[in-house]
Structure 1
Amino acid sequence: MTIEQRIGIIGGNGWLGSAIASAAVDSGAVDPARLTLSGRSDLSTFPAIPDVHRTNLNAELVERSDVVILSVGPAQFADVRIDAAGKLVVSVMAGITAARITERTGAAEVVRTIPNAAAAVRRSFTPWYATPPVSASNKALVQALFEACGEASEVPEESHIDYCVGMTGSGAAFPALLAEAMIAHAVTHGLPRAFAERAAAGVVAGASQLLARPGADAARIVQEMIDYRGTTAAALLAMRERGFDEAVAAGLAAASAKAAAMSKA
C-alpha cells in the first residue's frame, strides 16, 4: 500500500523517528516529498533522505501533515504544544495514554504504537492500538506504515500496548543481552573475543530465524530439543533451573511498571 496522506514525524531526527522515516521511504510506502520531519537540533543532524522537508517548528510540521507521528521521549511530551485537531496522531511513546494525547493535541483520532530498535533494519514487530474514532482507512494507513518497518498487528485494548512496552519494545534488546552473556562466558574460557562476538551474533541473529518459519512454535522447538536429551537439552534445563524464565518475566514486568509510572508523571 502506498500512503497518499502527508506524514509528519515530530522527533524525526531521533533514532526511532529516523528509522521510521527511512523505512517508510525505502519501502516505497511514503513518497519523501510528502514527508516532513521536525526536531529541536540543527537540521544537519536529520536523516539524509532526499526531498524530505525538515524544520525546527512543530507547528509548521502539523500544518504540512495529515498524519502526525509523535516520536519524542515521554519526558519531552509536556514540551510538545501542537493543535492537531482533525489530524490522525500516532504515538510511539511508552506510557503516555491516548486520553492524554487527545487532551494535549486536540486530535480525536489517536493511535498508540510500540515499535522497537529493529525498525532500523525493517525487522520491528509493532503492536498498535486505535481509539474508537479512528477510521478504517486510517487503521489501514497505520498498518501499512509499520509494515514498512517490519511487521505490525492491532491489539484490541490499550492496556495491551503498555504490556508490549516490555515484550516487543524493550524485547529487541534481549537478544543482545543473551549474546553479551555468551561472549563473556566464552572469553573466560580462553576464546578470543573477536571469535566469541562472531559466534554469538551468528547464534542469536542467525539461528533465531527458525522462529520466522511459517508455523514455527517456540514451545515445540524447545521441547523437541529437550526430548532429544543431548547437549542442547542439558543447556536449556540448566538455564531454566537457574531461573531463566523468572528473569525474563521480571524484565517484562519491570518494563510495564516503568511505562505505568511514565503515564502518571
Structure 2
Amino acid sequence: MKNKKIVFLGAGAMAEAIVRGLVDKEVVTPANIAMKNNSNTERLQELNARYGTSIACQQDLDNADIVVLAMKPKDIAEVLQAHPLKDGIAVISVLAGVSIATIEKYAGKRPIARLMPNTSATIGCSTSGATFNDAVTPKLQHDFTQLFEAIGTVEIVTEEQMHAVTALAGSGPAYMYYLIECYEKAGVALGLDVETARDLMINTMMGAAEMLKRTGEDPAVLREKVTSYKGTTFAALEVLREHHVDDIIKASTKANADRSREFGKLYD
C-alpha cells in the first residue's frame, strides 16, 4: 500500500484524521498523498508542512490509484464534474448520507467504498463502518480495509446497515460525552467536585469497555456480576428500568437512523 497514490478531494478535519493515520502508521508514503480543496491554499500548505503531503494538481488526480471524497456532501456533483476521474481509479467516500448509487452517478461505475468514521478518528480511535459496491474485488477490499484501520477499527456491513452504523458508532461519541455530562452532574449533586466526578466516570467507562474486549463476555453477564440482589448497583439499575432507559435508547438511535435516510435522499 505504501506506493499507492492517493488524492483527497477535501481537506477538512476527517480528511486530516485519515492522512494522520496513514502517515503515522506508515501505511502510505507521505509523498504519495496529495490533497485538494476549493480555495483554501493556506490550509493545504499547513497540512503539507505537518504531514509531508502535497497540494494536488490535475496530474496527481489523473495518476491516482485512489481518490478520497471528503468534501461537503452537497458539493459532490460540482467537484466531480469539475474533476472527472479517469477509468481505473478507485473511490473512497466519507460523505455522510451519500449513497454508492449517487457516487456512481457522478463518478461513473468503478470500485467504490463508503466509510462512516466517527470523530475519534482524530486520535486514531475511530469505530467505523464500511461498505463496498460490486466492483470492489477481494484484494481491493483488503487494501481498503488496511487504509481504514489506520484510523481505528472497522466493521464491514451492507449499505442499508450504514444507517445503523451512523446511529450507533457515527454519533456514538456524542452519546458517551452526554452520559459523562450527566454523571458529572450526579457526582456534583452527591458532593464531588466536577473534575473528580469526570475522572471517575472516564476511567470507569474505559475499564468497563476493556473488560468487554478482554473477556469477550456478554455485557448482560458482566452487569450481573456487578449487581448484588438488593444492593447499591441493583437500586440504581431499578431506577433506570423504571424510567425505561432501554426504550429511550432505542427511540433515539431510530431517530438518528431515520434522519440518516432522510439526508441520503437529499443527494440521490
TM-score w.r.t. structure 1 length? 0.88
Alignment of 1:172-251 (within 5 A): 172-226=173-227, 229-251=230-252
Q: CA deviation at 1:27?
A: 0.9
Q: Which residue of 144, 147, 153 corresponds with 2:146?
A: 144
* Change in CA separation of 1:236 and 1:54 when aligned onto 2, cut-off 3 Å: farther
Instruction: Name the residue aligned to 2:34.
Output: 36
Deviating 4+ runs (over 6 angstroms): none
SS of equivalent to 2:129: strand
Aligned residues: 260
- Per-residue CA deviations over 1:43-90 (Å, capped at 9, x if unaligned) read 3334353321124x6x56522421111123323334322322321111
Structure index of larger Rg? 2
Match runs of 1:93-108 below 5 Å: 93-108=95-110
Structure 1 residue 185: deviation in Å?
A: 1.9
1:41, CA displacement in angstroms?
4.9
Quote the RMSD (CA, aligned, Å): 2.2
Q: Equivalent residues in 2 for 1:10-159 (5 A)? A: 10-12=9-11, 14-45=12-43, 46-47=46-47, 48-55=49-56, 59=58, 62-81=61-80, 82-84=83-85, 85-155=87-157, 157-159=158-160
Is the alpha carbon distance of 1:4 and 1:94 closer, same or farther for their aligned partners in structure 2, counting shifts above 3 Å?
same
- Report if aligned partners of 1:89, 1:107 keep a CA contact under 8 Å in 2: no
Assess, with a 3 A threshold, how the Cα gap between structure 1 residues 204 and 60 changes in structure 2: closer, same or farther: farther
The 1:107–1:224 alpha-carbon spacing in structure 2 relative to 1, beyond 3 Å, is same
1:228-260 per-position Cα deviation (integer Å, ceiling 9, x unaligned): 653223222322321221222122112211111
CA distance in 2, matches of 1:34, 1:228: 60
Q: Secondary structure at the match of 2:227?
A: helix
- Matching residue's letter, 1:36: A
For the 8 Å contact 1:38–1:61, the answer to whether it is kept is no
- The answer to whether the 8 Å contact 2:66/2:92 transfers is yes
Change (3 A) 1:166 1:28: same
Q: CA deviation at 1:227?
A: 5.3
CA contact (8 A) 1:67 1:89 kept: yes
1:8 is the counterpart of 2:13: no
Cα distance in 2, alignment partners of residues 208 and 25 from structure 1: 28
Checking the alignment, whether the CA contact within 8 Å between 1:116 and 1:125 is kept in structure 2 is yes
Q: CA deviation at 1:217?
A: 2.3
Partners of 1:67 and 1:121 in 2: CA distance: 23
| Partner Cα distance (2:258, 2:166) in 1 | 10
**1:87 aligned partner, one-letter code:** I
Instruction: Please say if residues 8 and 64 of structure 1, whose CA atoms lie closer than 8 Å, have aligned partners that are also in contact.
Output: no
Task: List gaps (5 residues or longer) in structure 1.
Answer: none
Displacement of 1:98? 0.3
* Counterpart residue type for residue 179 of structure 1: I
State how far apart, in whole Å, the 2-side matches of 1:19 and 1:164 are.
19
Q: What one-letter code is carried by the residue in structure 2 that aligns with 1:93? A: L
- 1:194 Cα deviation (Å)? 2.3
Give how far 1:30 is off: 1.2
Identity of aligned residues (%): 27
Normalising by the residue count of structure 2, what TM-score does the alignment of the two structures yield? 0.87
Q: Point out where structure 2 has 5 or more consecutive residues left out of the alignment.
A: none
Cα deviation 1:155-190 (Å, max 9, x = unaligned):
2x2101122111111112221111011112222334
Secondary structure of 1:49's match? helix
Higher mean alpha-carbon deviation, 175-184 vs 31-40, is at 31-40
Which residue identity is paired with 1:134?
V
